[in-house]
Structure 1
């Protein structure tokens, strides 16, 4: 039989396992932007390859073929990589630290909250 989790244990797990989008954009827009960000570099690479190979058209000789191949591989292809979201605990820590730094939160209360969140993350 499964053991029941205490509220404190649930909170700790939530801070470590739950994730939030920290990229700075709306989390719903990621549905479209991830696809767009994958698509754009591939398109640019195909376009560049086409331009290089189009310049090498004509009579087939070894020199022009080698020159075209050199130009083709001289530049690293563009790429994009997805970055995973940050844990909820880190996001909350950053928010509170920023508020204390800007003077929105009382420094004493802010430090207490920061210690509490860090303690929950460690256990």
Structure 2
């Protein structure tokens, strides 16, 4: 195994590390993702149960080949992929540059350096 230089380690960290940029506490995702999935599946089970109840109430049988459950829409909840660390750092630095702080030229140079190091290499 070859040793990596600190610069190579930082480059790989920028490319591979991820950060939660959804806008809520990243620790809350541990509870909110399972909770959202659970609510979605509950909605689907309820729709199937209501369809079965309507079918049996109208005198139909479960053996009918025409039985189709109309599943509710796909819902609005979707998991979001976390942002690459490089993208998150660049966004934060760009925001600082836009606000025109004292270190704006230095931050612009940092943005360019991050973009140079994280650009895909050919070969």
* Superposition TM-score, scaled by structure 2 size: 0.78
- Distance in 1 separating the partners of 2:22 and 2:33: 12
Change (3 A) 1:79 1:43: farther
The structure showing larger relative contact order (alpha-carbon pairs under 8 Å, at least 6 residues apart) is 1
Deviation at 1:103, TM superposition (A): 2.8
Alignment coverage as a number of residue pairs? 118
In the other structure, the counterpart of 2:50 is 51
Deviation at 1:107, TM superposition (A): 3.5
- Distance in 2 separating the partners of 1:4 and 1:74: 54
In the other structure, the counterpart of 2:60 is 60
RMSD: 2.7
Deviation at 1:84, TM superposition (A): 2.6
Which ranges in structure 2 are unaligned for 5 or more consecutive residues?
none
- Distance in 2 separating the partners of 1:90 and 1:77: 30
Which ranges in structure 1 are unaligned for 5 or more consecutive residues?
none
By percentage of residues, which structure has more helix? 1
Change (3 A) 1:74 1:86: closer
- Distance in 1 separating the partners of 2:38 and 2:112: 43
